[in-house]
Structure 1
Amino acid sequence: MDRGNRESEGERAVTPRLVIVVSGKRKTGKDYLGSRLVDAIGESSALVHLSSPIKSHWARTHGLDLQALLGDGHYKERYRAEMVAWSEEVRRRDPGYFCRLATDSDACRERPIWVVSDARRPSDVSWFQHFFPGRVKTVRMHASDELRRHRGWTFVAGIDDAETECALDSFPDWDLIVENNETGGLEKGIETIFTWVQHFLSDS
């Protein structure tokens, strides 16, 4: 992890054309948006989950079902608090650790558009902005608590009031805020994001 603290922009061999960084609270639709974008953009895009290295480590060291942890069901909720506590300790030592691991993949090396579907802290956003200046667009997903409950969300003390859910609540500089409340906001947001994709792909 020490190397990560010394990592410079020049050491980043891969430079994407565009990084779309998505954030939002649980059950606001951030993962759904990420999947929609990657499905629509196709082979030019890579879907990046910053939580994947955390879940991979947890599955490997605790003998758990990795695919279930990566899914959107109740299985991962059993282990969420412990995974959060461990990952927060790692981040305190090296804020960019999971960003580096999550983007160290063949898909990211080969594809010019990255869709990061689960940014949770200002340090996540700033890491991408630092290494890829001028190539990052930030998106915040919003949904009403009523709709989130309809999607299966219930408030959990220690999770929904923790830094992993709240650290970006006051982030001031979103390029796009998507109101995902079944009023057409999601589709409008996707249209806006596609204008970004077209611009960055054509800007050679």
Structure 2
Amino acid sequence: MAPHTCVPQLVLLFSGKRKSGKDFVTEALQSRLGADICAVLRLSGPLKLQYAKDHGLDFQRLLDASVYKETYRKNMINWGEEKRQADPGFFCRKAVEGVSQPLWLVSDARRMSDIQWFQETYGTVVQTVRVVASEQSRQQRGWVFTPGVDDAESECGLDNFGSFDWVIENHGDEQRLEEQLENLIAFVHSRL
């Protein structure tokens, strides 16, 4: 059963490796479509909030791309996995609470259980979007391979997902990215 919230007309589940540009792409889409129509949801938001409460940490600092967040990332991943094992939809339900816009951009789907929860809860309005970037592009954005993070389910859980509905290439070619965003926006307009 869907949580008490507005039923969306379209849900786009974004996934991709660290520093692939998931947040950049979802924020670009929201800025073009408008916050009144389009909500950006982060599954990591409820995770970080609960982790901060449970461990006496600064929630706001866990949200940004800081050394502070990276210090706790590995432990946060392990803690989140324990929560998901007990209840796979826990963070998904928290993320959608009170959302009223007809279009939801979930910026950080990371596991099959995330996709399954949204598909089971919202059905055919769900589309999957994979944001890909070359390793070189990710490194230029500050990515460095971190054992226990980049080889964990939170980074690799959707590597073998199969066929995504959309693939956005974000290798640094602004014109190519713009073309892909325009195609996705045209699709969004056809569904709203």
TM-score by length of 1: 0.88
Aligned to 1:156: 146
* Of 46, 51, 63, the match for 1:53: 46
Match of 2:149, SS state, is coil
Residue correspondence of structure 1 range 1-204 to structure 2 within 5 A:
8-9=1-2, 14-42=6-34, 43-105=36-98, 108=99, 110-183=100-173, 184-201=175-192
- Cα distance between partner residues in 2 of 1:163 and 1:13: 29
Q: Which runs of 5+ in 2 are unaligned?
A: none
Quote how far apart the aligned CAs of 1:12 are.
5.4
- Given that 2:5 and 2:97 are in contact with CA atoms closer than 8 Å, whether structure 1 keeps it comes out as no
Quote how far apart the aligned CAs of 1:187 are.
1.6
- Cα distance between partner residues in 2 of 1:136 and 1:189: 19
Aligned residues: 190
- Given that 1:54 and 1:87 are in contact with CA atoms closer than 8 Å, whether structure 2 keeps it comes out as yes
Quote how far apart the aligned CAs of 1:62 are.
2.5
Q: Which runs of 5+ in 1 are unaligned?
A: 1-7
The one-letter code of the counterpart of 1:34 is T
- Cα distance between partner residues in 2 of 1:65 and 1:39: 28
- Given that 1:178 and 1:185 are in contact with CA atoms closer than 8 Å, whether structure 2 keeps it comes out as no
Match of 1:64, SS state, is coil
Quote how far apart the aligned CAs of 1:14 are.
2.7
Quote how far apart the aligned CAs of 1:13 are.
5.2
Identity %: 45
RMSD: 1.4
Match of 1:133, SS state, is helix
Match of 1:19, SS state, is strand
- Cα distance between partner residues in 2 of 1:173 and 1:132: 19
- Cα distance between partner residues in 1 of 2:30 and 2:87: 29
